[in-house]
Structure 1
């Protein structure tokens, strides 16, 4: 081989090696949705990967679901926390009962996203951030109310109950009517306080302040105000609502480059049960603590266990 050709070949190999190294060193673009829980979970992912020596780029609180979803599909971001139940809508399967079973919903979400977009779902949290019925803490403690079966029994035995909810929750066949049918209770019009809009902050406040004798509220499972306002989520033991477990999702090629992402995030998300996420979200939403501080304190606490 001519000497010049050898130099050219060696130079080409060197360029390829450096290109490969540069590619391997590309930071993982971590993102999240714009809500409180998205900020908290996003910070946990960002900080824990940084602690583990994985290079990261902060694109947290990028926007709503459609924005972050399109961004990861386009390769503009690499990793963000998503909810299993949303995969039903991503893949046009919202009418299937499979989404009401936590394990099956996760497996289906993981399979569909891997096949369609080469996106990997990592270990989910135990918490379920779905539509829920909650009651005042004093009522729950006095009558030992923990599940919707307990609440139905209380209502059917003549217990005093008034529920704050949005018109959508009251009228949607998949919300209050579905709960009533499954658990065998019925709320009359005088037992409902229907508030405009779908903001759970208003329903939480109505129950917490006992406005118009309201002692129950439409909420989401991990609403930040629940603990702070002493409201308790009634467990949906029959699985009426789809399951919305938060889980990190990551582009497969990024996970191949940084396989340690899986083992770093697994114990963190495994530790996040319903009450824990309620408490963490409440620190941000109610107490005004920055999400970055809440995440740092939680991660440091895990390291001490």
Structure 2
């Protein structure tokens, strides 16, 4: 699929929790020294920026991390989180309603170039830079990766002897898949399952947010598209099916920016990407979704400790 996630977006609050000023240093994540930087107000040179996100908890959490890192550098930041699916939020950034939002390299590349064949992280990033339309750029990618995955319950994995996606071939007559609506028409979705693995499910159920997880738990679908940092996988003992032909490829977290804002945002957001890895991201998502912590506080704590 690409990136439209499934847990309730309303869990993430857009509360502003500015970082305390602590003097100039060589650390790009260090807050600005000015009083305006300490309060999130703009300094004359820093300017203002609107940070957006897709409508799932991880995306809004990443948006909050970006927002606080930029505020620490003295920028005035407006938050516009939980905009919607990729089709919707790309219109917002190309239209100038937002300036930056967290994206995922492989999914974004596949959106702009459905014939892309690369799967290795650096190759995907290089091709993505070529595929972006005029006016959009990406800053440095992070090591953090949250990939599309196809998961089943432990019972289904045992009953059908499932370890990898190709194992579903023998069960297509019984196979129902739950995923967001756009999974139906995307390469990283039903289109790719057919072209890469020759798998066509008997039923596709378009579902959003927590409904996907619940449908899998309740047996209403036999498989579901859930992302790899989603805490519901470990919490429910779901089995992630191996993807030997790399249908879902690499999906590193990367800031997507309007090109005209890239220079102003690069220092702070490249520093975030340099420190963000998959375990840290998965832990923060768990804190927000499972532990019910405020996303702004989770972001603030990570930025302070990274």
Alignment TM-score > 0.5, same fold: yes
CA distance in 2, matches of 1:167, 1:77: 24
Alpha-carbon deviations, 1:205-239, whole Å to 9, x = none? Answer: 34445x48x77543233334223323242342321
Is the Cα contact below 8 Å between 2:60 and 2:81 reproduced in 1?
yes
Find out whether 1:283 has 2:287 as its counterpart: yes
- Quickly say closer, same or farther: Cα 1:163–1:293, change in 2 above 3 A: farther
Query: Are 1:30 and 1:42, in contact at CA under 8 Å, matched by a contact in 2?
Result: yes
From 213, 220, 235, the equivalent of 1:204 is 213
Once the two structures are overlaid, the 10-residue window that deviates more, 21-30 or 164-173, is 164-173
* Aligned counterpart, 1:225: 232
Indicate conservation of the 8 Å contact 2:121/2:250, yes or no. Answer: yes
Q: Is the 8 A contact 2:135 2:260 kept in 1?
A: no
CA offsets per residue over residues 159-183 of structure 1, 9 Å max, x none?
xx98653697998795468558856
Q: If each structure's helix is expressed as a fraction of its own residues, which one has the higher value?
A: 1
- 2:262 maps to what in 1? 255
Q: Secondary structure at the match of 1:24?
A: coil
**Distance of 1:252 and 1:172 partners within structure 2:** 29
Alignment-derived partner of residue 178 in structure 2:
165
CA contact (8 A) 1:168 1:198 kept: yes
Secondary structure of the residue that 2:226 maps to in structure 1?
strand
TM-aligned CA deviation for residue 39 of structure 1:
0.9
2:73 equivalent to 1:56: no
Q: Unaligned stretches of 5+ in structure 2?
A: 1-41
CA contact (8 A) 2:139 2:269 kept: no
Pairing 1:292–2:305 present: no
The answer to whether the 8 A contact 1:72-1:78 is kept is: yes
Q: Is the Cα–Cα contact under 8 Å of residues 103 and 253 in structure 2 kept in the other structure?
A: yes
Contact 2:190/2:200, CA 8 A, preserved across alignment:
no
Length, aligned pairs only: 260
Partner residue of 1:127?
145
Instruction: Give me the whole-angstrom Cα distance separating, in 2, the residues matched to 1:167 and 1:251.
Output: 27
Q: 2: distance between equivalents of 1:79 and 1:124? A: 15
- Provide the C-alpha distance between the structure 2 equivalents of 1:247 and 1:258, rounded to a whole number of angstroms: 13
Alignment correspondent of 2:108: 86
In terms of mean alpha carbon deviation, does 26-35 or 254-263 score higher? 254-263
1:76 and 1:197 mapped to 2: Cα distance? 28
- In structure 1, the partner of 2:32 is none
The Cα offsets for residues 82-136 of structure 1, whole Å up to 9 and x where unpaired, read as 23323443x4x22x033645433321222333x6115233214441332x22134
Tell me: CA distance 1:225–1:81, structure 2 relative to 1, closer, same or farther (3 Å). Answer: same
Partner SS state of residue 206, structure 2: coil
Q: Is the 8 A contact 1:32 1:68 kept in 2?
A: yes
Aligned equivalents of 1:216, 1:228: Cα separation in 2:
16
| Bigger Rg, structure 1 or 2 | 1
